[in-house]
């Protein structure tokens, strides 16, 4: 279960990074929704598997769990904002907002991703 969770989290890192930076470079398009969606789903699945693993072995780092769930929520908000911007086509106003919050949410998510690696190393 731990290997699958790590794989899912790394897939989330790849797809989320890809989506954020290609959307910033080329502008937000509908095809980015798929990439964001795969990243979000991978993060959700990885977070869920990590929680199951933590319960099964009795390791539940509270701070990291809170940070992880908050960053997953931020990622979901980011996806919804991208969805709104791409589907509604009010791209100028929403794209400006999207690009303003994009790096902030991504940075918070990256902190949660890295803190998970640090937390897991401390318990090994």
Q: What pLDDT shows up at residue 67? A: 85
- 8 Å CB contact between 2 and 53: yes
Question: What pTM was computed for the model?
Answer: 0.84
Name which of 116, 96, 110, 91 is nearest 39 in CA terms: 110
Domain with 117 in it: 2-122
Domains held by the chain: number: 1
Task: For the chain, give the percent of residues with pLDDT over 70.
Answer: 94
- Taking only the tens place, the pLDDT of each residue in 80-110 is 888 887 777 666 777 777 777 888 889 988 9
105: Cβ contacts below 8 Å, ≥ 6 apart:
74, 75, 77, 78
pLDDT at residue 50 is higher than 90: no
Query: Distance between CA atoms of 121 and 124, rounded to whole angstroms?
Result: 5
């Amino acid at each position: 279960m731990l290997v699958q969770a790590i794989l899912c989290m790394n897939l989330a890192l790849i797809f989320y990074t890809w989506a954020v930076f290609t959307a910033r470079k080329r502008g937000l398009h509908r095809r980015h929704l798929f990439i964001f969606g795969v990243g979000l789903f991978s993060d959700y699945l990885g977070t869920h598997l990590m929680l199951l693993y933590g319960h099964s072995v009795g390791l539940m780092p509270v701070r990291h769990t809170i940070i992880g769930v908050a960053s997953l929520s931020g990622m979901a908000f980011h996806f919804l904002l991208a969805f709104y911007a791409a589907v509604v086509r009010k791209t100028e106003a929403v794209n400006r907002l999207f690009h303003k919050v994009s790096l902030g949410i991504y940075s918070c998510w990256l902190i949660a991703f890295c803190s998970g690696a640090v937390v897991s190393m401390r318990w090994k």
